[in-house]
Amino acid sequence: MLPRLLILAAGLIVLTLAIAAAGSPQVVIQTFSTRLLGIFIEAAPFLLIGTLVSGLIEAFVSRELIARLLPRNTFLATGLGGLLGFVFPVCECGVVPVARRLLNKGLPVPVAVSFLLAAPIMNPIVVASTQAAFGWSAVFWGRFLIGGLVAVGVGLVFAFGARPEDVLREPALPAPNPGLTLRVHLPARPSVVARLLQAAHLATGEFFEMGRYLILGACLAAGMQTLVSQDVLLALGRGPVVSVLVMQALAFVLSVCSTVDAFLALAFAGTFTTGSILAFLTFGPMVDIKSTLMFLGVFKRRVVVYLILLPLLMTLLASVWLNLNVSL
């Protein structure tokens, strides 16, 4: 998978340069480099936070604790997954390693999917930034209502017959639970310092493993931003359906971190419909170019397709309905 992604990223860069060859290649290279560095510098700290949280979960959270805290009812457990972002306040870059570690610890797939999609929206940092940008407006409440419903809805889709071995790649599969005979030979529980060192070691390895997907996603996002004229997209901003599709495409291409995307959306508020602004604020944090590539480190390819299409269609329907039926 990785060599093919490298070829795709390299091909996109070459295509960008070829299209602009008749103009000024220097400008294209500068634009691409600036956008690539901007995306990576914005995302890398959150990936680091996510991998550190992942390491701490591995060192300090037991499978038994997760099983004890989760409700036995599938619907309640999946709904709780949508609120885990308040416990693990990570954006779309940091949530992937955290979700993978929780899956490895035995978290059910529907709960993990709900958490994966909701956490970039349903966390205190994003709540604060959205309130600062839009105040206590309909956009503020709509973002979290639509985001929560879509995340839990997609999670419940996976509740019907989605076995871990059919959905997850091998590194994310639940680790085997050691039997009692093995536990007899285990040493005493390690000290806090030893577990912190273990967490740092695991976080380092996971940062470099997931970081390659982040770099490839940043290359693709920067290439798309260089190729696609935003003026063309902005010219389509008033239709109740087209405006939503355009803002979803823009959110996917721009790959802006969910902690700051509210301020970017605010710049479009006077041009685009309210439904399309909400689509940007809900679909973008769930799925963008860089997070899609990071999903490939956790889920099988056909499952990643579902993780793109289901939030896309659900946010599209909700946003178009608002544009047609609600005056905001």
| Residues 298-328 pLDDT 10s | 888 899 999 999 999 999 999 999 989 876 6
**Taking the mean position of all CA atoms in its chain, how far away is CA 46?**
11
What pLDDT score was predicted for residue 237? Answer: 60
Q: Over pLDDT 90: what percentage of the chain?
A: 17
Answer yes or no: is pLDDT of 220 > 80: no
Query: Is 280 within a domain?
Result: yes
Query: Is 125 within a domain?
Result: yes
Hey, how many other C-beta atoms are within 10 angstroms of the C-beta on 234?
Answer: 14
179-184: average pLDDT: 42
| Residues 74-88 pLDDT 10s | 888 888 888 887 877
28-48: average pLDDT: 77
| Residues 264-290 pLDDT 10s | 788 777 778 889 999 999 999 999 888
Cα dist. 223→2, 40, 229, 320 in Å?
Answer: 18, 13, 11, 29
Query: Is 279 within a domain?
Result: yes
Q: Does 25 or 157 have the greater pLDDT score?
A: 157
Lookup: tokens for 179: 């039997």
How far apart are alpha carbons 72 and 70 in whole angstroms?
A: 6
For the chain, give the number of residues: 328
**CB-based burial, 170-200: b 16+ in 10 Å, e otherwise:** eebebeeeeeeeeeeeeeeeeeeeebeebbe
Q: Does 246 or 229 have the greater pLDDT score?
A: 246
Query: Is 33 within a domain?
Result: no
Query: Is 179 within a domain?
Result: no
How far apart are alpha carbons 183 and 328 in whole angstroms?
A: 60
Query: Is 184 within a domain?
Result: no
- Whether the model pTM is above 0.95: no
- Find the domain containing 115 and state its range: 2-18+39-174+194-325
Closest C-alpha to 114, from 140, 84, 92, 91:
84
Query: Is 27 within a domain?
Result: no
Q: How far apart are the first and last CA of the chain?
A: 44
Answer yes or no: is pLDDT of 179 > 50: no
Query: Is 186 within a domain?
Result: no
Give the count of domains, the chain: 1
Answer yes or no: is pLDDT of 259 > 80: no
